[in-house]
């Protein structure tokens, strides 16, 4: 035990030292509470709340700058908006849903705080989404490193918070390159075995919500070349344990060829595809790459818009990919001042239903309640297991 704790301390110390050594005299947050970094032909702003990306600027094929992610103009509003749609943050300590807000590790059962689908019998909810009512993307992270093209956030999650066992420390680093956005997420369990699964919960609109032909993102084209299977879910999006094949040319076929998000929206069978009474996608596609593979060699997903010409190839070491077509957005969240159309009567400056796409790199959802899937080594971590690690690269182009 002593050597295990020592190795944990050394690992955390080394990460902290690396972060400190990367710090320069670059100024702190701007008047809106944001930290901005820049690469070649790309610029992004971040806020400590949820370690969230709040702006991502690129020029489209017409040379017009577009801000292609949702967020708010001022960092203070992230903690004010009670809807909290997880704009651009890091959900944790366990992303996506946990059935019945419970799980077991080595025969010990844990009950964590619910926060989704309240019922009269369970007014707080019947399951846990994105780590609970005070998940990681509801908290202010600490900026521990900040350079012209990179920023690192850190969070200490105390034992028992939201009901999870053991203390966890996490570091998230965002870096911009030549039309690229890289991020790495590491987390280490310092005391006992606990579930850890992170992601990046960014809402994308590659037109910057400025497409004068449509208010939606259903014109965006998605390709998941390794996404031939998906996790089956029930009416409240809890995995059933079944793994389904995505039939070629079917509703969930984004693997055989690129397809517009809205291609099947006139098909009545799409109703219920993203939960009860929901039309669209809120789907965990499995990324089945031939092994061995280098995570940064081939993209697991490509999203593009022919209107702006902007495209993004996504590379990751994760084995699942959640796609959400923003069916739950209802126009109650305003666009930022850097987005959308102005003075157009039939285009309110809001995030409308289906006007965005969420793409989450992650592991198999709720696998902690499905040991038959064999994902424990990817999702259960103790001090002796080394860090949880997530890596991803978003490579932008103008070939959409």
Q: Give the model's confidence band at 18: pLDDT under 50 very low, under 70 low, under 90 confident, else very high.
A: low
Higher model confidence: residue 59 or residue 3? 59
Q: What is the pLDDT of residue 96?
A: 98
Q: What is the pLDDT of residue 85?
A: 83
Q: Give the model's confidence band at 235: pLDDT under 50 very low, under 70 low, under 90 confident, else very high.
A: very high
Please answer whether residues 375 and 349 qualify as being in contact, where contact means their C-beta atoms are separated by less than 8 angstroms.
Answer: no
C-alpha 385/C-alpha 369 separation (Å) is 20
Summarize the confidence of residues 70-99 as an average pLDDT: 93
pTM for the predicted model, two decimal places? 0.94
Q: Give the model's confidence band at 84: pLDDT under 50 very low, under 70 low, under 90 confident, else very high.
A: confident
130 is catalytic: no
Residue 28 has pLDDT above 90, yes or no: no
Q: What is the pLDDT of residue 263?
A: 98
360 is catalytic: yes
What mean pLDDT, rounded, does the chain reach? 94
Summarize the confidence of residues 128-138 as an average pLDDT: 97
Residue 288 has pLDDT above 90, yes or no: yes
Catalytic residue of the set 116, 360, 362, 395: 360
C-alpha 394/C-alpha 313 separation (Å) is 6
Catalytic residue of the set 86, 116, 167, 201: 201
Residue 129 has pLDDT above 70, yes or no: yes
DSSP H helical segments within 338-379, as ranges? 376-379
Cα dihedral sign, 48-338-86-221: negative
C-alpha 30/C-alpha 14 separation (Å) is 29
List residues bridging with 396 in a β-sheet: 312
Q: Give the model's confidence band at 13: pLDDT under 50 very low, under 70 low, under 90 confident, else very high.
A: low
Share of the chain above pLDDT 90, in %: 90
Residue 21 has pLDDT above 80, yes or no: no
Other Cβ atoms closer than 10 A to 260:
17
C-alpha 210/C-alpha 347 separation (Å) is 10
Dihedral angle computed from the Cα positions of residues 111, 117, 123 and 129, in that order, rounded to the nearest 10 degrees: 40
Summarize the confidence of residues 200-216 as an average pLDDT: 98
Please answer whether residues 136 and 50 qualify as being in contact, where contact means their C-beta atoms are separated by less than 8 angstroms.
Answer: yes
């Amino acid at each position: 035990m002593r050597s295990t704790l020592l190795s944990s301390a050394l690992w955390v110390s080394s990460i902290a030292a690396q972060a400190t050594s990367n710090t320069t005299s670059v100024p702190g947050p701007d008047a809106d509470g944001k930290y901005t970094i820049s690469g070649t032909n790309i610029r992004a702003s971040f806020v400590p709340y949820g370690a969230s990306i709040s702006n991502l600027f690129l020029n489209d094929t017409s040379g017009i700058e577009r801000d292609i992610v949702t967020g708010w103009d001022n960092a203070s509003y992230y903690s004010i908006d009670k809807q909290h749609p997880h704009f651009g943050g890091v959900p944790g300590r366990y992303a996506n849903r946990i059935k019945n807000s419970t799980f077991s590790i080595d025969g010990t059962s844990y009950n964590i705080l619910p926060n989704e689908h309240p019922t009269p019998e369970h007014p707080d909810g019947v399951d846990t989404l994105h780590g609970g009512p005070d998940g990681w993307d509801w908290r202010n992270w600490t900026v521990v490193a900040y350079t012209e093209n990179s920023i690192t956030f850190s969070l200490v999650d105390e034992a028992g918070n939201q009901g999870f066992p053991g203390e966890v420390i996490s570091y998230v680093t965002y870096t911009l390159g030549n039309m690229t956005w890289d991020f790495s997420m590491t987390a280490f369990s310092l005391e006992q075995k606990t579930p850890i699964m992170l992601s990046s919960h960014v809402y994308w609109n590659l037109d910057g919500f400025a497409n004068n032909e449509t208010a939606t993102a259903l014109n965006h084209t998605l390709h998941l070349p390794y996404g031939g299977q998906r996790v089956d879910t029930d009416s409240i999006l809890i995995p059933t344990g079944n793994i389904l094949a995505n039939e070629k040319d079917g509703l969930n076929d984004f693997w055989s060829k690129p397809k517009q998000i809205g291609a099947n929206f006139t098909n009545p069978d799409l109703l219920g595809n993203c939960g009860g009474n929901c039309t669209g996608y809120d789907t965990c596609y499995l990324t089945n790459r031939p092994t061995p593979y280098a995570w940064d060699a081939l993209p697991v997903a490509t999203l593009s818009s022919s209107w702006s010409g902007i495209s993004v190839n996504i590379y990751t070491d994760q084995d699942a990919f959640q796609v959400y077509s923003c069916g739950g957005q209802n126009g109650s969240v305003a666009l930022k001042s850097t987005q959308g159309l102005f003075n157009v009567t039939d285009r309110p400056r809001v995030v409308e239903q289906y006007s965005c796409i969420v793409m989450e790199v992650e592991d198999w959802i709720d696998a902690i309640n499905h040991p038959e899937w064999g994902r424990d080594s990817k999702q259960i971590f103790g001090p002796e297991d080394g860090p949880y690690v997530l890596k991803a690269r978003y490579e932008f182009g103008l070939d959409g």
